[in-house]
Structure formats: structure tokens, C-alpha cells
Amino acid sequence: MLKKKIARKATYKQVAHEETLPDPNNNNKLIKTSNFFNTPLWQKVYNLECELNENLCHYQTGNEITHIYNPVEYAAQLHCEYLRHYLKGTKILLFIGMNPGYDGMGQTGKAIAINYFGMFANTSVAPDFWGQFYNLELQLNEKLRNIITNPEITYIYNPIEYANDIHCAFLKKYLNGVKNVIFIGMNPGPNGMMQTGIPFGNITTVRDIMGLTGTVNQPPAVHPKRPVKGLASTREEPSGKRLWTLFKELSNGSLDTFFKQCFVHNFCPLVFFNSNGNNITPSELKGPYKQQIRNECLRTTEQVLQLIQPKIIVAIGNYVYDTLKASEYCKSKHLLRLAHPSPRSLNNNNWPEKAEKFLAEEDLLKYLRNE
């Protein structure tokens, strides 16, 4: 028996590169999005759905199939609104049904009929502690992506995205609950977290001492002078080497001991470069952009602190210290400033000795040693 091909016209294109997408806020409007790797997670999922739609339309159907409905296409606006609202980050638990029901997704474009969705969502399992932290990072990424960049900033790297493999391994290994002390740096260094996804993460510490491995992908756009080589990089981050070497020594030779009561985090996840490849720190940004970045990062830091519940917050460097003075959480806790370990910082000779003295005077060594 001959089989016929059910042809259908694709309503919307996938959104990789410069494509159009239905705007959930306006049924008559299409929006444009850029490079796939720089798009929100919900749009990436929609891309995959569009690819599946294209593949399915090439299959032959039996004579008994006379009509085929695809709500991902004809209910695209509502479907995209559903994705955008509920798919803002990775999930611990995923429920997978068979196909749309006539009175459910067939009418609404949503995976579960609207009147059942709330109940379904409320029965999901809460993510692990590190997953809650990671979701806060993903939400911050989304907010930062929507801020209009200053003209002088031509390249932005986000290692939480392209180095998420190692970054998540770090969180899984060392962030399993609340901590007494949190050290907060400013943003990734070009030869540290930019390569490894770990705060102050110089290569030898991450690979040889922490024992972390994983794939490091590429940012959407890479400056020729600022390549990302991941764990294959041969350049060490001086700040990271100083910081982690000291923490290891003061924690009885074990970073596992250090992380029992302490954690290290960066205030801002982004690395900024100008057209010449010069590293622009958050403190060196200009105009409203600087304030917008600061405000979004501060709001997320507030949530991070509420989650981790540290008694003591140690700001690494003046920028973070001055910024955290505005934190409501820090106002009720003990906020300290540790000099930044960068050799470029003024009056920063003998940083390890000065830092050890500071930690001893502030009675922090007991936390590093898990005493």
C-alpha cells in the first residue's frame, strides 16, 4: 500500500544566528535573536523543537492518518510564553509525557493543561543545595544579558556558561550546605576563572589539587588576544595561585578541609574586554552601565548570602567591600575586607604574610581548619 507524505508549512524558524521568534507579549510581532550560544535556555529548547518539527514533516504517514496537528506551531505564542516563564535554568527533575492531548496541549500549546500545571509544578523535587545556588547564577546571567553594553566593551565572556561543566563540578563537590565564612572576589581573571569556571581558579589548583575536570567550550565571540584554552592553558593566574596556596596551607594542607566551613564566590560572573583586548574590571566600567551591572550583581549576591547564611563575609578588594556595604544581609553580619592578592595591587608586597596575619587577627583560622 502506498503511503502519502503529509506536507505542512513551517510557521516559525529556529532561532539560531539571526532568526525570528514569536513574541510572547505580542501575537502579531516577531522578535529577533542572535547567536545560539548567547540565547536564553528557553529559546535553545525552542530551537530543538523546531528542528524536530522539520524532521517529522519528511516522514510518510499511513492511510489511516488523515490530519496532524502540531500545537508547537499553531499555538507558538502561548507555547513560547510557557517556555520563557518556566524554563529559566537547568532542572533537577524532568517529567516527560507522550504527546499532546486534544483538550490539553492541543488547545493551549503547553506541555500540561493549564488547570493542571500549578499542581504538577508543586510536586516537583527541590534541587540540591548547589543546584539552588546555580539557579541564582543562571538567573543573574539572564538579567545581565539584557543590559545594554557600553560601546567601549566589545567582548564579554561568561565562564559560568561556557565552562559550566567544571563550574558545576566545583559546586557539587564543595557547596553542599550553609557555610560560616564566604570570601567574595570581584569578577573572573583572564587566566583563572575565565579558563576554568572556578573563582580565582588557576590551572594547577583546579586540575591537580581540586581534581576537577570537564569540557570548556568557547564564548560566543573571542578576542584574538584573549583565547579560552580551559585546563590546557599554560598560564597561571597569579591572584588565584596566591589565594588558593595560602588557603590550602592554612587549612592543614587540604582544600577539602577549607570548604567544610568556607566558600569562595565572585560578585560578577562576567569578563569585559575592549577592542584592544584590555581587561576592564567592573570597577573600571563607565556610566549607567557600571551601575546597572553593580545593582543586578548586588541583588543576586543578596540572594546568595540568604541561601548560604554565612556569619562572616570577607570581601576581597576595595570594590567588593564598598559595594557590599549596601547589602542588607551584610549590615546584620560581620563584613571584612581582605586585600586583593593581585601583584598589580598597590602596596601588595608579601601578600601571603599580610593575609595570614589578617585571618589570624580576625579569628578566621578556626573556620579554615574546620575546628
Interval 159-183: pLDDT, tens: 999 999 999 999 999 999 999 999 9
**Residue owning grid cell 585546563:** 231
Binning pLDDT at 50, 70 and 90, where does residue 42 land?
Answer: confident
Q: Which domains, ranges and CATH numbers included, belong to the chain?
A: 40-51+68-116 (no CATH), 129-369 (3.40.470.10)
Instruction: Judge whether residue 107 has pLDDT over 70.
Output: no
Look up residue 113 and give its three cell numbers.
Answer: 493543561
**59: confidence class by pLDDT, cuts 50, 70, 90:** low
Angle CA(243)–CA(187)–CA(267) in degrees, nearest 5?
Answer: 95
Residues 240-280 pLDDT 10s: 999 999 999 999 999 999 999 999 999 999 999 999 999 99
Percent pLDDT > 70 in the chain is: 80
Taking the alpha carbons of 339, 343, 348, 353 in that order, is the dihedral positive or negative? positive
- What is the Cα–Cα distance from 188 to 216, expressed in whole angstroms? 15
Contacts of residue 135, defined as CB under 8 A and 6 or more positions apart, other chains included, come to: 88, 89, 90, 127
Helix (H, G, I), strand (E, B) or coil at 353: helix
Closest to 73 measured CA to CA, from 87, 54, 58, 94:
54
Residue 327 CB contacts under 8 Å (≥ 6 apart), including other chains:
298, 301, 302, 305, 313, 335
The average confidence (pLDDT) of the chain is: 84
Specify the DSSP class assigned to residue 79: H
The distance from CA 336 to its chain's CA centroid, rounded to whole angstroms, is 26
Least confident of 62-71, 79-88, 152-161, 257-266: 62-71
More reliable by pLDDT, 120 or 46: 46
Summarize pLDDT for 200-214 with one digit per residue, the tens: 999 999 999 999 999
- The pLDDT of residue 148 is 94
Summarised one tens digit per residue, pLDDT across range 300-351 is 999 999 999 999 999 999 999 999 999 999 999 999 999 999 987 877 889 9
> How far apart, in whole angstroms, are the C-alpha atoms of residue 141 and residue 337?
26
| pLDDT band (50, 70, 90) for residue 106 | low
φ, ψ for residue 133 (rounded to 5)?
-65, -45
Kindly state the DSSP code that residue 282 receives in the 8-state scheme: G
Q: Which of 145, 162, 137 is nearest to 34 (CA)?
A: 145
Residue written as grid cell 561543566: 165
Nearest in space to 70 (alpha carbons), one of 104, 105, 35? 105
Give the highest mean pLDDT range of 2-16, 35-49, 307-321.
307-321
Q: The pTM is what?
A: 0.69
Q: What is the pLDDT of residue 343?
A: 85
Task: Give the per-residue pLDDT at 276.
Answer: 97
CB 314 within 8 A of CB 338: yes
pLDDT over 90 percentage in the chain? 64
Collapse the DSSP code of 14 into the 3-class scheme (helix H, G, I; strand E, B; otherwise coil) and give the result.
Answer: coil
**Cα-based distances in Å from 195 to 213, 218, 241, 248, 256:** 12, 10, 14, 21, 22
